[in-house]
Amino acid sequence: MQSISVLGTKEPGAEEVAGIDVDVEPAVMPTLKFEASTLSIPKGFCVDLLNGKGDLGCGMNLFITGTYSDGKSADANKSTQLKVVSRDPSIVSLSRNGCCLIGISEGSTKVTFADKYSVEVNVFGHERR
């Protein structure tokens, strides 16, 4: 078992913080498995990458499971190592805070996760009003 200590000071006028969550991840990215290998997003809609906890209210999620070499699995959606890149941001873009994929214009492109895994994303023309 390992322990860590956190020390800090409060800035004048800052709100009190109830606690601090510390996430410790293995240095090696697990093997990723996606709930779906292809996504279809209406233009103007989004897909939540945080298992429904993103702040855009997407209504659609992409669940990602990571499996480590010892067989243990974990929810990989929140991994700090999960770098997400759209091959064509004019079709599918990542939201500013990284929580969601957004359908920008009609077409298809791949979205790459952790520089190794990809999902095909199709954006079609029913724009949100």
CATH label of the domain that carries residue 120: 2.60.40
Confidence of residue 53 (pLDDT cuts 50, 70, 90): low
Mean pLDDT, range 11-15, rounded to an integer: 78
Pick the closest to residue 2 from 22, 29, 17, 18 (CA basis): 22
Strand order in the sheet with 107-113: 38-42, 117-124, 107-113, 84-86
Does any domain span residue 58? yes
pLDDT of residue 54: 56
Does some domain include residue 10? no
Q: Domains in the chain: how many in total?
A: 1
Percentage of the chain exceeding pLDDT 70: 79
Q: Is residue 96 part of a domain?
A: yes
**How does the average pLDDT of the chain come out, rounded?**
83
14 found inside a domain: no
Domain extent at residue 63: 31-124
Q: What is the per-residue pLDDT across 61-98, written as a single tens digit (0 to 9) for each?
A: 888 899 999 999 988 887 878 889 999 999 999 988 88
Cβ–Cβ < 8 Å for 55, 92: no
Task: Name the residue among 121, 117, 120 with its Cα closest to residue 33.
Answer: 117
51-57 mean pLDDT: 61
